[in-house]
Amino acid sequence: MGEIKAVIFDFGGVIVRTTGRAMRHQWDDRIGLSHGTVEETVFNSERGRAAQHGIHTEPEHWAWLQQKWSLSDDESAQFRREFFAADVVDQELMTFIRGLRPQYTTAIISNAMDGLREDLAKVHGVADAFDLIVVSAEFGIMKPDPAIYLHQGCSVLSNPKVIENIL
């Protein structure tokens, strides 16, 4: 195995973790759905995956959810706030990631909507810890498709041996 030059992280479930689903389940109850349906619809519905592929913008996706569940503008804003309320940055991991630089290139490769890059900087305050941020919506490719690791911004990652060693 060659020298390690880059360390790649995912965002959801790694850098940011959902610490509880009570608020999401309350929205399931409020809308009249079984627990987990709201979360599944946001991320894994056909429309949610299309947003992560960049076919729809993040605002278009949230507008679709608002219409789908007949939410007022205020309810929609509340839903979005509460949906992410239990998501927290793993600060211990971020300290570790910041310590990797400059010896290693640090990267995020995430299946996410087009608002992730801004959220990393403004909401979560972690964008500065990464040399490379790859958002699936910006390239129309989602993991596990290996092509996401080969796009033009990933020159440090484009060696086929690197792809073989991604865990």
Q: What are phi and psi of 24, to 5 degrees?
A: -65, -40
| pLDDT in the model for residue 155 | 55
Residue 61 contacts by C-beta under 8 Å, 6 or more apart in sequence?
Answer: 47, 48, 51, 113
What are the helix (H) ranges across the chain?
Answer: 22-31, 37-44, 46-52, 58-68, 73-83, 91-100, 116-118, 136-139, 160-164
d(CA 31, CA 119): 27
Residue 33 contacts by C-beta under 8 Å, 6 or more apart in sequence?
Answer: none
| pLDDT in the model for residue 24 | 98
Query: In a structure prediction context, what are the per-residue pLDDT tens digits for the chain, which is 167 residues long?
Result: 578 888 999 999 999 999 999 999 999 999 999 999 999 999 999 999 999 999 999 999 999 999 999 999 999 999 999 999 999 999 999 999 999 999 999 999 999 999 999 999 999 999 999 999 999 999 999 998 888 877 655 555 555 454 444 44
> Among 135, 28, 33, 11, which residue's Cα sits nearest to residue 82?
28
Could you tell me the residue ranges of all domains in the chain? Answer: 6-16+88-164, 20-83
| pLDDT in the model for residue 167 | 41
For the question of whether the overall pTM of this predicted structure is more than 0.85, the answer is yes
Class of domain 6-16+88-164: alpha beta
